[in-house]
């Protein structure tokens, strides 16, 4: 056995350390530890603030999924107030959120994951890089490098599109308790549509074919990085007032089965046995959760807590959403995550086209409403990387407690109290690691989850 520490793992957001025990006899990963290496403390600094500020403060957790935090926060606030925003706000929020998904998925494939499969030009940002196991021929490589550059512009377009309704991106100021701040008109909608059509052309004409090519050339990655196959989605993109219908449904499946089960929030706890938080906070539901750092804890190896559903680790993300929704059920692996994410990008983009026509230009998108003196609420949504929840409790018109449970916290969690590994740790077990000096296979497994440690640490 030899121990290899990847720190930081690159081409993901935030600070992830992965420690691997390599079986040197057969060149595979025997076991792995996933560690979030930086403490944030957002849940602590939110205490005592006006609850309406959380929608703006929590967006600063991350530059990749700020809109998703805004959505979770505003839904938590509205649940606490027993208030439902006007239907126009639902549609406009969906469109801004959709723009974030499009930018994030394109970013992930071209700028974060793909460089682990292509030998790019001998210049930054393609160097320094691993050189092992690069299988594309020169023509394919050149095309993919060209698409990498093109995707930079498409991501910018996705941001510019979102800003038409969101005011600015990242960190939109359009989401407010009560609705959205934008007053839409026909010209905004036609500008949004023009951007969206360009992005759809790229997604369907370039991104999807490139993922298909990757899946052909690296087909063995359909058998690498499975993990547990437990998949969880909170669901997103409400299609009606109240959200009983969603573009991507809420649900969960155990062991990649076809049987979708309901999600009971009371079954979720966060354990801290191997996290740098006090043991007294372990096993709490997020509604009761606390964030008390304990950086010198002997067993600790991560700033992520270990969320578990009925005591079991769950993977979240595009594959989980598409599986729960019945759109993609080929398997659970590195390559299935890429294919499902690309197919989801197209599904969301096309749905956004239809939502544009549903905005009512003569109806309001905002209703002023009072902050409750006290109350509690949960905001559930999906971020590009998976299920996202904000748990809010208000007292004396101020935030008493705030707990955030992010997708990457599910995916990259450390072991729980029973010693059961987190989903990424499990997915790495048995993965090939042919050359200890060039652990490119490990990188590919990690990046297939699209981790964001900025979000995941508390
Ligand atoms: Ni910082 Fe985020 C997403 C959230 S990941 S990117 O998607 O929430 O845990």
pLDDT, tens only, 240-258:
999 999 999 999 999 999 9
Q: Indicate the average pLDDT of the chain.
A: 97
- pLDDT of residue 391 exceeding 70, the answer is yes
Ligand 1 center–CA 405 separation, angstroms: 10
Mutate to test the pocket of ligand 1, among 408, 423, 447, 451 (most ligand atoms within 8 A of CB): 408
The Cα–Cα gap between 169 and 93 comes to: 13
The structure tokens 């809420």 sit at 250
Nearest CA to ligand 1 atom 9: 408
Q: How many helices (H) and strands (E) does the chain have?
A: 13, 14
Mutate to test the pocket of ligand 1, among 62, 170, 234, 410 (most ligand atoms within 8 A of CB): 62
Torsion angles phi and psi, residue 136, rounded to 5: -70, 145
The Cα–Cα gap between 435 and 28 comes to: 10
- pLDDT of residue 351 exceeding 80, the answer is yes
Dihedral Cα 354, 358, 361, 363, nearest 10 deg: -160
| Mean pLDDT along residues 173-181 | 97
pTM over 0.95? The answer is yes
Least Cα distance to 195 among 142, 145, 158 occurs for 158
Rounded (5°) CA angle 86-80-383: 70
Mutate to test the pocket of ligand 1, among 15, 102, 406, 410 (most ligand atoms within 8 A of CB): 406
Least Cα distance to 338 among 195, 155, 220, 208 occurs for 208
Question: According to the model, what pLDDT value does residue 125 have?
Answer: 85
Least Cα distance to 366 among 120, 83, 101 occurs for 83
Ligand 1 center–CA 452 separation, angstroms: 6
For strands 231-233 and 179-180, give the pairing.
unpaired
For residue 128, cis peptide bond before it (omega within 30 degrees of 0): yes
Ligand 1 center–CA 46 separation, angstroms: 18
Displacement of CA 132 from its chain's centroid (Å): 29
**What would the two tokens of residue 154 be?**
């498409």
Name residues contacting ligand 1 (CB within 6 A). 13, 62, 64-65, 68, 383-385, 388, 406-408, 452, 454-456
> 3-class SS at 376?
strand
- Adjacent-strand bridge partners of 393: 376, 401
The Cα–Cα gap between 446 and 225 comes to: 9
- pLDDT of residue 47 exceeding 90, the answer is yes
């Amino acid at each position: 056995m030899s121990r290899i520490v990847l720190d930081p793992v690159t081409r993901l957001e935030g600070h992830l350390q992965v420690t691997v025990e390599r079986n040197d006899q057969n060149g595979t990963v025997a076991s792995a530890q996933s560690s979030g290496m930086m403490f944030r403390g957002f849940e602590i600094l939110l205490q005592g603030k006006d609850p309406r500020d959380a929608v703006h403060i929590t967006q600063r957790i991350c530059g990749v999924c700020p809109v998703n935090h805004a959505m979770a926060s505003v839904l938590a606030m509205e649940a606490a107030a027993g208030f439902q925003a006007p239907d126009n706000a639902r549609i406009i929020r969906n469109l801004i959120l959709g723009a974030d998904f499009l930018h994030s998925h394109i970013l992930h494939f071209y700028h974060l994951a793909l460089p682990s499969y292509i030998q790019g030009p001998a210049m930054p940002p393609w160097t320094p890089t691993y050189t092992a196991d690069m299988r594309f021929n020169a023509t394919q490589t050149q095309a993919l490098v060209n698409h990498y550059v093109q995707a930079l512009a498409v991501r910018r377009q996705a941001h510019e599109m979102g800003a038409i309704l969101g005011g600015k991106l990242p960190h939109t100021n359009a989401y407010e308790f009560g609705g959205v701040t934008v007053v839409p008109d026909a010209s905004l909608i036609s500008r949004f549509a023009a951007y969206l059509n360009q992005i759809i052309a790229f997604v369907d004409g370039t991104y999807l074919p490139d993922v298909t090519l990757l899946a052909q050339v690296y087909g063995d990655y359909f058998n690498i990085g499975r993990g547990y196959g437990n998949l969880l989605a909170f669901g997103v993109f409400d299609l009606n007032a109240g959200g009983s219908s969603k573009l991507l449904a809420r649900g969960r499946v155990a062991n990649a089965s076809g049987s979708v089960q309901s999600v009971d929030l009371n079954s979720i706890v966060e354990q801290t046995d191997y996290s740098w938080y006090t043991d007294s906070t372990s096993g709490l539901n997020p509604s009761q959760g606390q964030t008390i750092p304990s950086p010198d804890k002997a067993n600790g190896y991560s700033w992520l807590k270990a969320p578990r559903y009925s005591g079991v680790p769950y993977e979240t993300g595009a594959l989980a959403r598409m599986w729960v929704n019945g759109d993609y059920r080929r398997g659970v692996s590195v390559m299935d995550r890429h294919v499902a994410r690309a197919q989801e990008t197209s599904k969301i983009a096309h749905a956004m086209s239809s939502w544009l026509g549903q905005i009512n230009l003569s109806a309001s998108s905002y209703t002023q409403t009072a902050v409750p003196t006290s109350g509690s609420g949960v905001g559930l949504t999906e971020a590009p990387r998976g299920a996202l929840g904000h748990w809010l409790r208000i007292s004396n018109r101020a935030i008493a407690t705030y707990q955030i449970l992010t997708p990457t916290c599910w995916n990259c969690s450390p072991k729980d109290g029973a010693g059961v590994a987190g989903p990424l740790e499990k997915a790495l077990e048995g993965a090939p690691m042919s050359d200890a000096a060039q652990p490119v296979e490990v990188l590919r497994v990690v990046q297939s989850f699209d981790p964001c440690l900025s979000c995941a640490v508390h």
